[in-house]
Structures are given as structure tokens and as C-alpha cells.
Chains A and B, each alone.
Chain A
Amino acid sequence: MARIYEDLTQVKRKSRIILYLLGVILFVLLIFYWKIQVLDHSKYWEMAEANRLRELAIPAPRGLIFDRQKVVLADNSPSFKVTLIREAVKNYQETLDRLSRFLGIDSEELKNRIERYRFLPAFEPVTIKDNLKLDEVASIEARKEEFPELRLEVEPKRYYPFGPAAAHLLGYLQEVSVDEINSNPEKQWHGGEMVGKSGLEKQYNDYLTGLDGKLVEMVDNLGRPRGEVSRIEPQNGKNLAITLDFDLQKKAEELLQGREGTVVALDPRTGECLVWASSPAFDPNRFITRFSPGEWLSIINDQGKPLENRAIRGLYPPGSIFKIIMALTALDTGVITANSTFYCSGSVEMYGKEFACWFEPGHGSLNLAEAIRHSCNVYFYQLGRRINIDTIADYAHRLGLGQKTGVDMPGEKEGLVPSADWKRKFLGETWFPGETISVAIGQGPLLVTPLQIATMTACVANRGEAVRPMLVKKDKEERERKKIGIDPEIFETVIEGMWRSVNEQGTGRGAFQPGLDVCGKTGSTQLISRETAERLTQKGEELKKTHSWFTGFAPRNNPQIVVTVLVEYGGMGGQTAAPIAGEIFKMYREKYAGQKNL
């Protein structure tokens, strides 16, 4: 077979061109690779690191809170929670449905819970259920591969061993809200973190909060952990020692059981609060677990307002307690002396109107100390007619009313001390002298908080030195003991009256304790008109439509404790509040008899 030589130069040349072209293209592509791999290396390196590394916070235990005898009031206990990492979710709706079935949470609610943290980076875990029971923990752990987007975390959870005891004082924790995270970027709060929402937990939140640790772990494309890269251990929050005496606190809460009211006790020498009870109370442990919306509503709509911290947020007319301030004002301005007497016939007519004493037969002729002892209204009407409202307001302010006490507790209210200016400004009317008569016995527009009354009483007990109430002990330098500019001698007359009120069958006799010179003053605030009250009495209904007040201190010389009691709708002050205060004084004496000169 003869070989026919063909002319293949054309096709071979074409093939050669393609080969060269191929070489050129590969060379150009290598330049592209050089750009990506060498020039832009660090950019892609960071992206790869962001892919593979996940930072997680290791929650730091919160500091403990204990009372002055080191009784732990707020503790921590380990708790399991399950979190979801959105980054790892492939099909959102499907995952929601599966989780809802698996965890037994309504799919809508679950969605809301996750949506709330939409703004967070997708790699941050969102808590979807906490306080897991052990069998729940086991079933989640067992199905780890099936739910790679879920994480089980153990976190130290706040635990209040005494439940509702001192609840208002301690406050409660709740999940930090989206708004709070956004408006406080410096706090570096993360979604699902529990922060103090009231009470000491709020006031000292930064102090109690530890420094979260940090765990960096390697994850795969489904978000499954594949080993730890680094770990910084968390630092515990600092412990908080408070001035509370938990024995007295328990006693006070026991006495308030079933009533709405508050008991505050403090050491007049330093302002340290010994008792801070508000009733009804709530169990702060319940706030730790995430509430269902229904539970929330039931707490908020409760008629007794269990969340209200009555000691600083309850506003009440002071009633006869205000007579202490009237007495001090009258003596200091020289309107009367200790021996000035007025006659009480059961009522008195002033500015063309009849003002009644609470004791219809009348107290007869009495001096200031006696007037305080019997809480005679007529005597103080007489003072009210002789003293200008602005002068009264000035003294009330000096004794701490109408302003925050400055206690280390959030949400304190100011109360109200009326003056001519105030009325012009807020009501647009001039002050009538007749209104001063009501103010003289603590009625009218006056409003005070129980803690203000306790602080005022401490100032009286100190014979004119005001202290600022506190719950956490401060250094001596930080404590304030400030003279209010009234001569100590002036206080002795008022204190004499308060002593007689308790020890000589006065209105405060319910607080009497043998061997302990208790001085005190009762108050009852009229909430309904006298006519209505009489009508109700005639019908034979029990008349308990007034708030019942008592405030006092002991011992008379060298006072060590101030007790202020308010019982809402408790009737006359001597009837309900004074005996409660008496029990507190009694227990204080028994407890400290050995240690202190009582």
C-alpha cells in the first residue's frame, strides 16, 4: 500500500496556534490566581477564619447577695438551656416546625423569640428554652446530629433560696431587652443575658455581673462544633453584703402576711436599712425562667400590685405623723413654747368652717407633748392657723419630705409637699389659709413614702442630724450625717410627746415594749369623708377605711433602731401599725440585748 503524503501544514499550524493560545490563557489565569492567593490573601484568610471559628460567651456567675449576718439571699445554681445558632439554620420554616414539635413550644412563640434577636450577628446563639429538665437535656444531647443548630449550655442561674422574702429589696432578673442592648453598647450585653430589672439586682447590676469568659471553637459548615481553639475562663461577679437583718426581715414579712403594706427599719446612727418589707410580694425565682405572656399579665394585673416596692414607690398622705413636723416647726419658729396650751373641745371653727378632732368628747386643755401623745387634731389646727404654708413646706423639706432620700435603690418616688408656689404653678390657684389647717394634721395634698417617714424619724431620733438611708455599707467618709439647723433641745419636747404616746397610754401604746424606751407616733389617713364613715358605722360595718401608720425609734436615749410601718386600709394607726412595730422592737431587743446597751 503506497503511502500518499498529504499536505497537513495548514491543520498542524492551526493546532500550534491553539497550543500557544492555551499557554497564554493559562499564564493569564495564573496571574488571577496570584492576585487571589498572594495579593488578596489576608482578606480571604479572615473570611476563612470567620467561617471556621465561633466565639461564644461563657456566662460568669453573678455575685452573691447576703445580709449582715452572711445569710445568702441571692445564690446561683447550675441550669441547662438550649440555644439556637441561626447561622447554622438551612431552612428556617422547616427548622421552626421541627423544633416546635421537639421542644414542645408553640411555633409562633418560638419564632417571636428568635425574631427578637434578628439584629444580632447570625453566629450568636439565641436562647430558646432554659431551665431544662434532665430528661429534656438527655433527649437534646441524644439528637445532637439531627439538630446541629442547637447547643446545650450550662449556665449559672440566679436562685433565691428564700423565694419571696425581701423580694422587692433584692429585685429580679430578666432577659435583657433588645432596646437595652441597643442603647447600652458599652455594656456589651448579649442576647438572652439576664440583667437586674429592679431592686438591688438593678442598682448593683454592674457590680454583681461578672466578666463573661470566652470560648473560641472550630465549627463545620453545619455549625457543629469540631474542637476548642481557645478558652478564657469567666470571672465571677463580686459579692454584695447588704445591711439587712434577715431575722427582722422575716419577722416583718410574717407580720405583714395577708395585708398590703410595708415595714422599714433602719439604724438612725448610720442610715443602714435593717428591714425592708413590702407586701404582697412575688417570687423572684419565677422571673428567671422566661414567662409566658399569660403569666406576665396575671402578675401585672394583680390588684394587690405585688411588684410595687411600697417602701419607696407607695405614695400616701402622712396623716398624724406629720404632726411631728408641725410641732418642730412651731417650736423652732417660736410660735409656741413647750408649755403653750390650747383647749380641745372636740372640734374648732376656723375660717368659717368646723374642723373636728378624732376624739369627739375633746381632749381638754393640753400642751405640746400631751397633744402629740393623744394626737390631738385641734391643737395642731391651732398651729396650722398660726404658721404659713411655705414655712411648713420649708421644715418638711429639711426633714427629708418631698424629695428622694437617696437610698441606693432604683425607682424611688419624691412625694409631694405643697406650698403656695406649688399650687399656683400646678393648679393655677392661690393657696387658701383653710388648706393649711388640713395640712397641719397631715391631710391635704401631702404625699410621702414610708422610707421618707423612716428617714425623718431617724433625723428626729438623732436630734436634728439627717442620715441618708442605705442598703450597702459605705465607708465612713461617704456617709452623710448632716445637721438640719434645728436646735437639739427643740427635739426633746417632741420626743417626750412621742415617748408618752407609746409608754403612757397614748395612741402609740401598741408599740410599747417593757424595758425599751420606744418613742413613736401613729397616723391614720382618711381615705373617705367623715360623713361616709359615719354612715358606714351606723350600718354596723367595720370601719377600716384608713391607712394605718406608725413610726418610732428606740431607745429614747442613744437610739439604735427606727421602725416605720404602713398598713393599707389597716384602720387607725394605733390599731394595726403600732403593734407590728412593737413586735419588731421586741425582736430587736431580744436579738441584740447581749451585744448592745439596750
Chain B
Amino acid sequence: MLDRRIFREIDWSTILLMVAISLIGLVFVYSAVYYQASHYVWRQMVWLLVSLFFLLVSLLIDYKILLSFSFLFYILMNVILLWLLFFGRLVANTRSWIVLGPFRVQPSELTKIAVILLLARIFSEYKEDLMSFRAFVVSSGIVGLPVFLTALQPDLGTALTYSPILLGTYYLAGMRRKYIVLILIVSFLVGFFGWNYGLKDYQKKRIETLLNPTQDLRGSGYQLRQSKIAIGSGGLTGKGYHKGTQSQLRFLPARHTDFIMAVIGEEIGFLGIFLIVGIYFLFLYRLFATTFMSPDRAGVYIAFLSALLISCQFLINFMMIIGLFPITGIPVPFLSYGGSSLLVSFLLCGLVINVRMRRFAFI
């Protein structure tokens, strides 16, 4: 079953791009936490190796086999999420972590893979040009269950990162464009009016902390301000590696996680940002390109939803740190410090590579 040809088809350039971006992240995590006695860098290195290992292992298994187990996987993950709600350890006010010795994993991240796989399996049989109401209900339900369980943890930030998966499914499955636009407009209006008129201050405060657990006592205004100062003061070429005053003197909050891009902007300037965006876009392009060559519908779904998920996380973070999007605790895939986020990102891309390398398998 394991054809040698398959291995020649492993997409080494995508893997290389992933590792490269992760290493750039590591370099700036090192800079960001330099004055803190911590093991961030070592830990992240271990996570990187672990992720790489799991990526390669996952490539051994045909994604079609994974698809056939997807329902089971989905059920399992939701059971874990449910279990967490009752027996999970409270870490930073949420029950979203499973603690394994020095490492922590966030099952709600891993669940995204299960959701994507299940959607791909179900919609691989769905060949209509227009999305039916039934398809709408089924896909919403599949995404809605883990979102609901995650929101109860309560981890609103992670719950919201599921939305690209759902919207992407609507789009691919052929929901009329006007409905998609309607959904976007309605959710914007509900968000806007709900926030400004519906909620009381303490409720907003509570939601803010849920969306953004690393928030400073001085409020998200402080974070955004410091982030913009860091990026703006970096200028064209930056203040130099390890010389960013905003990050080194700790004015910038969550430097090694949510605001790692601000550290990059400060220390290597606009040119650095441009370079990172360039590499990242190249990488995202590779992911999307897989959809173009996928042999089957399930493969298109897998590659598209994974690529969209990573793209959206990157975009939101990239907008958030200069104030174009509300501050929510969304890290940059591969760049930010965070083990389970890195692992899940690697596994997601593993699925995409898996699709790509098996496009000729049966010819």
C-alpha cells in the first residue's frame, strides 16, 4: 500500500516553509523573552521537533483512511471537550487545557482537525451546485457543537477561530453569495450593536477577558497603543535584533505570543514585516495550490479549509496588532510561542500535504 512514489511526492518545500517560519518565530521569541528567566525557547524547540515528527507520521496514513475514521475522531474530541468541562484543571480561568507534565495541550485546537475531516467526508458526497438547507443545518451543527463546548470552558477566543471553517464550508458547498454576505452583515451588526448598546460594562469586561486572557490590567487600549508604538517606532529597517525598546523593556504585552509580529515590526522594521508577509504568503499559496490539484472533493475541502483557517488566524492577528481588528487572544500560527497551536498547525498542513502527495496514487 505504501508506494515509493508517494514519498517522492512529499511536498518538501511546504514543510521547509513551515519550519522556516517556525524558526523565525523561535528567533523572535528568544528576543522577546530574553530578560525573563524562562524555558520558552527550549520548550518551543521541543514542540517543533515533536510537531515535525507527528507531521511525518501523519503522512504515512492516507488521508482517505483518516476520513473514514473522522466521525469517530470527531465524537472522541467532543467527549474530551465535555470531559474537560467537568474535570478539566482550571488554568488561567478556563478549563481548556490538558496538562501533561511540563507540556499542556489544548484539545479545542485539535478538534478543529476533526471538524475539518468530518466536513470533508460529508461534503465529498455533496455535489450540488447550490447548498441545500439540510446541508446548511448539518455543517452548522458539526461546527456548532465543539464551538459551544469551547465557549463554555470558557474560551471565546478559540471558539471564534472556528468561524472560518464554517464560512469556508458554506462557500464551497455553494451557499448563495447573498446569504454569505447576509451572514457576515448580520454577525457584524449583532456584534456591533450588542457590544455598544446591549451589554453592560461589567459584561463587556468579562467578555473582553474571555476573548483576550493575556490582557493587561491597564486594558486593551494599553496593549494596542504599545503595539502600535512598537511597530511604528521600528521604521523602515527596525531598531535591530534584540534592540527593540518596547519589547526589551516590556512595554509590549504578550510579546512572545499574540504580539510577536509587533516585536518583529519593531526590531527589523517594515522590510522585515514585508519579508515575513512574503514568506507567509508563499506558504499559504502552497496550501491553496493543493486544492487546485486535489484528485477528489474531500481533498479540496481539506486543503481549502485548512488553508483558510491558517490564513484567517494570520490575517486577524496581523490586523489586530495595528488596531484594524479588536484585540483577541489569537496567536500567529508557527510564529507565536505555544506548543499545541504549533502542533495543530503542523498537523493541519500535514493533511494538506497528505492530499497533495496522493493526488496520483491511483493513476
Residues of A within 8 A of B (CB): 1, 3, 6, 8, 10-12, 14-16, 18-19, 22-23, 25-26, 29-30, 32-34, 36-38, 40-41, 43-45, 47-49, 51-52, 90-91, 218-222, 226
Q: Which residues of A contact B168 (CB under 8 A)?
A: 18
Q: Could you pull out 26 A-B pairs where Cβ atoms are within 8 angstroms?
A: A3-B363, A6-B127, A6-B296, A10-B129, A11-B297, A11-B304, A14-B171, A14-B304, A15-B292, A18-B168, A19-B288, A22-B288, A23-B281, A29-B324, A32-B322, A36-B228, A37-B273, A44-B229, A44-B231, A44-B233, A47-B232, A47-B233, A48-B245, A51-B229, A52-B246, A91-B217
Say yes or no: B273 contacts A33, CB within 8 Å: yes
Supplied contacts A26-B318, A45-B233, 14 more A-B pairs, CB within 8 Å: A11-B291, A15-B288, A15-B292, A18-B308, A19-B284, A47-B232, A48-B245, A51-B245, A51-B246, A52-B246, A52-B249, A90-B217, A218-B245, A221-B250
- In the bound assembly, the distance between CA atoms of A220 and B247 in angstroms comes to 10
Count residues of B near A (Cβ-Cβ below 8 Å).
53
Which of B270, B273, B294, B311 is in CB contact (< 8 Å) with A22? B311
Say yes or no: B291 contacts A12, CB within 8 Å: yes
Say yes or no: A41 contacts B249, CB within 8 Å: no
| A44 with B228, Cβ < 8 A, contacts A1-B362, A33-B270, A220-B250 known | yes
| A51 with B249, Cβ < 8 A, contacts A15-B288, A37-B269, A37-B273 known | yes
| A47 with B229, Cβ < 8 A, contacts A8-B297, A37-B235 known | yes
| A10 with B322, Cβ < 8 A, contacts A15-B304, A37-B270 known | no
- In the bound assembly, the distance between CA atoms of A37 and B236 in angstroms comes to 6
Q: Which residues of A contact B236 (CB under 8 A)?
A: 37-38, 41
Which of A12, A16, A32, A44 is in CB contact (< 8 Å) with B324? A32
Say yes or no: A11 contacts B249, CB within 8 Å: no
Say yes or no: B285 contacts A19, CB within 8 Å: yes
Q: Mark B223-252, 1 if CB is under 8 A from A, else 0.
A: 000101111111110000000011001110
Q: Which residues of B contact A220 (CB under 8 A)?
A: 249-251
- In the bound assembly, the distance between CA atoms of A57 and B340 in angstroms comes to 50
Q: Which residues of B contact A6 (CB under 8 A)?
A: 127, 296-297
Say yes or no: B246 contacts A30, CB within 8 Å: no
B88 adjacent to chain A (CB < 8 Å): no
Chain A: CB-nearest residue to B292? A12
Q: How far is the CB of B178 from chain A (nearest CB, A)?
A: 15
Q: Which residues of B contact A45 (CB under 8 A)?
A: 232-233, 235
| A30 with B230, Cβ < 8 A, contacts A6-B296, A12-B300, A15-B292 known | no
Q: Which residues of B contact A41 (CB under 8 A)?
A: 232-233, 235-236
Q: Mark B350-362, 1 if CB is under 8 A from A, else 0.
A: 0000000000001
Which of A15, A29, A48 is in CB contact (< 8 Å) with B319? A29
Say yes or no: B251 contacts A51, CB within 8 Å: yes
B172 adjacent to chain A (CB < 8 Å): yes
- In the bound assembly, the distance between CA atoms of A25 and B288 in angstroms comes to 16
8 closest Cβ pairs, A-B complex = A44-B232, A48-B233, A15-B291, A37-B270, A19-B288, A220-B249, A52-B245, A221-B250
| A38 with B270, Cβ < 8 A, contacts A26-B281, A45-B233 known | yes
Q: How far is the CB of B113 from chain A (nearest CB, A)?
A: 19
Say yes or no: A37 contacts B231, CB within 8 Å: yes
Q: Which residues of A contact B292 (CB under 8 A)?
A: 12, 15-16
Q: How far is the CB of B303 from chain A (nearest CB, A)?
A: 8
- In the bound assembly, the distance between CA atoms of A23 and B315 in angstroms comes to 11
Q: Mark B295-321, 1 if CB is under 8 A from A, else 0.
A: 111001101100110010001001100
Q: Which residues of A contact B249 (CB under 8 A)?
A: 51-52, 218-221, 226
B69 adjacent to chain A (CB < 8 Å): no
Of residues B172, B229, B232, which shows the largest number of chain A Cβ atoms within 10 Å of its Cβ? B232
| A25 with B273, Cβ < 8 A, contacts A45-B235, A47-B233, A48-B233 known | no
- In the bound assembly, the distance between CA atoms of A11 and B172 in angstroms comes to 6
Which of A18, A26, A44 is in CB contact (< 8 Å) with B304? A18
B265 adjacent to chain A (CB < 8 Å): yes
Q: Which residues of A contact B34 (CB under 8 A)?
A: none
Q: How far is the CB of A250 from chain B (nearest CB, A)?
A: 57
Chain B: CB-nearest residue to A33? B273
